[in-house]
Structure 1
C-alpha cells in the first residue's frame, strides 16, 4: 500500500512553490496503453534544442509529490524532501499526426516518452522506484521537469539510402527506434527499415496502430512484434503454439530474415539494439561473457562489428543506461 507523502515540512502551499521553482514543462497529452504503460507528451515552457532521433533526456519530479496508490511505499528523509528524483528516457515519436500522416520528432513542439510504471523495486535490497509512481499521477496540465540538455550517442549516423536498417528492441526500448524510423522515412530512405520488438503480451504494443498505418504507406517499412507471455507462448497444447519468442533465436533460426523479407547480412545492414541488457548482451571490460548469448555475441559471430569507431553497413549500435 502507498499514499501521498505526508510531511509537516511540505504543505500544499510549499509544494506549489517548489513546483513553480523547479518545473519547466507541462504534460499536454497522456495516452494510456494499459494501467502500467503510457505515452506522455510533454511540452517544455521554452523551445527545446534540436536533437537527433534516438537521443535521450532526463525528466524529474519532486520527492514531495504523491505516489500512485498501490506502488511501493517510500520513506523520504527530511533533507531530501525538497529535492527532485530524475531518470533518463529516450525520446520517442508520435509517428503519425492527427491526419494520419508521418510525424517525425522535428515536426512537433513536444517530447514524447514511452513509460512503464515501475510499481516496486525488483529486490528487497534496492530502493523504491522514485519517478514513475509519481509520474503516473499526472494528467494533462500536470507539471514536470525536463532537463535542458538532450544528449546521447545512440543515433543513426551516416546510412546509405539503400542500406537495410534493423532495429531490435524489447518493451519500451522501441521508443528511440520509433523516432529513428520516422526520421528515415521522412528523409526518403529507400532501403528496408525493419523495426522489431518483443513484449510480454500484445497489450504492451503501445504503437501498434501507428506501425500498421506506416506499413501501408511505406513499402520499405516493416514492423515485427513478438510476444513471450501469451497462451501460444506458454501452452504447448495451444493450436498456434510457438513458444517464447525471443530475439536471439528468431535471428539465428533465420525466421527474422524471412519475416523481414531481407537477408539481414553485414554487407548491407546496420543494426540498432535497445532494451533488456540480457537481450543486448553487453559485457563490461573484465566481466565474464553471458551464459546465454545476447545479440551482440550473435551478431559479431555473424560478421557484424560492435566497434563504435566503425561506420557503414555491418555495424552494431546499442543503447545502455546501466
Structure 2
C-alpha cells in the first residue's frame, strides 16, 4: 500500500481519478499536447469550450519549480484547473480527422514553473511528471460561451491567439472546415519562440488542402525580432494582415476570436458609461477603431474573447 503522510494514496487515486492519459506529444520540455480518455466516454462540447483537469496535492512536483507550502489537510485534496479543449484536427494520414476517430480529449498545456505571490502553481508541476497510462481527474461538466454560434457560413473568421490560447481555435477551425465553411478562415498565433508553435505542422498541411484557410505565425524573442517585435495588435494595426490576405477587414462580414494573454486582448473597462481602453493597446481597441464591436455583457459584437489568466 502506497502511503504518504498517513494517507492511502491508492485509495485516494481510486476515489478521485476518472481518466487516463493515452498520449503525450512533447513539443519541448515545457510544452505538451496531452490526450485524456475519460472512463465514461468523451464529453459532448462545442468547440471553444473547456473543462477541468486535476491531480491530488499528494502527487509529486517537478524539480526546479516553485516551492509549495500546503496547509494542514491539503495533501488529501484535489487541485483542479480549467483547460480549453484543443483538437488533433488531422489524422495520421494528414486528412481532416473524423469524429469517430477521436475517443479522447486533447489539451495544449504549458508548464508554469512559478508565479508571483506566495502560492506556487499547483497543477502543471505535477502534470508534467505524468506519462501515458497514468491516471488523473477530468471534469464531467463543460463550460464556456466562446463558441462559433454567431458565425454564418459565408462570413470571414479570424482567430488570434498567444501561446496555448491556440487550443480552442484548433477545435473551432476543425469544426468550420469539416462543415465546409465558405468564408475565409485565418489563424494568427504569436509566441516567444519558433519552437513554441506546437501545431504549426498541422496547420501547414491544412493550408495546402483548403484554399480558404490561412495560418500566420509571429514570434517576439527570436534573433530577428530584436528591435522590431510585432505583436498581433501591431500586425493588424499596421495593415500587414490585410496585405497578406489581399483584402481589407470588413466588420460587416467578419468575426474575430481572440484568446490568450489579456494584454494582447485589451478588454476595455466602463467608467461612468465611458469606455476606457487599457495601456498598452490591445486587439480590441485596434479593431473597434476599424468599426468592429467587442462583446459586452448581453450585447453581442463581432469580437469574441477569452482571457487565459
Matched, 1:51 2:51: no
Q: Which region of structure 1 is more displaced relative to structure 2, 43-52 or 109-118? A: 43-52
**CA shift digits 1:201-242 (9 cap, x unpaired):** 0000100110011111111111100000000001x5xxxxxx
5+ long unaligned stretches in structure 2: none
- CA drift of 1:139 comes to 0.4
From the superposition, tell whether residues 158 and 139 of structure 1 become closer, same or farther in structure 2 (CA, over 3 Å).
Answer: same
Partner of residue 292, structure 2: 304
Does residue 135 of structure 1 match 2:127? Answer: yes
Q: Paired residue for 1:117, among 111, 115, 122?
A: 111
1:252-291 pair list within 5 angstroms: 252-286=237-271, 289-291=277-279
Match of 1:149, SS state, is coil
Deviation at 1:99, TM superposition (A): 1.8
Residues 38-187 of structure 1 correspond to what in structure 2 (within 5 A)? 38-103=32-97, 107-121=101-115, 123=116, 125-187=117-179
**TM-score when scaled to structure 2?**
0.93
Residues 251-278 of structure 1 deviation map (CA, whole Å, 9 limit, x = unaligned): 0111012223332220111000000000
Distance 1:106 1:279 in 2: 36
Per-residue displacement from partner, 1:44-92 (whole Å, max 9, x unpaired)? 0012332100000011100000011111121222311100111101110
8 Å contact kept, 2:34–2:108? yes
My pick for the range that moved more, 289-298 or 199-208, is 289-298
Determine the C-alpha separation between the residues in 2 that align with 1:299 and 1:263.
12
1:31 maps to what in 2?
A: 25
Task: Establish whether residue 217 from structure 1 lines up as the match of residue 209 from structure 2.
Answer: yes
Are 1:246 and 2:238 an aligned pair?
Answer: no
Task: Give me the whole-angstrom Cα distance separating, in 1, the residues matched to 2:26 and 2:175.
Answer: 24
The answer to whether the 8 Å contact 1:211/1:223 transfers is yes
Give the TM-score taking structure 1 as reference length.
0.89
Q: How far 1:8 sits from its partner (Å)?
A: 2.4
Gaps of 5+ in 1: 1-5, 237-242
Give me the CA root mean square deviation: 1.8
Q: How many residues align?
A: 303
How far off its partner does 1:284 sit?
Answer: 4.5
CA distance in 2 between counterparts of 1:75 and 1:146 reads 25
Q: Which moved more, 1:47-56 or 1:31-40?
A: 47-56
For 1:189 and 1:224, the matched residues in 2 are separated by: 19
- Tell me the distance in 2 between the aligned counterparts of 1:107 and 1:297: 41
- Give 1:321 deviation, angstroms: 5.2
In structure 2, how many angstroms separate the alpha carbons of the residues matched to 1:167 and 1:107? 25
User: Do structure 1's residue 202 and structure 2's residue 190 form an aligned pair?
Assistant: no
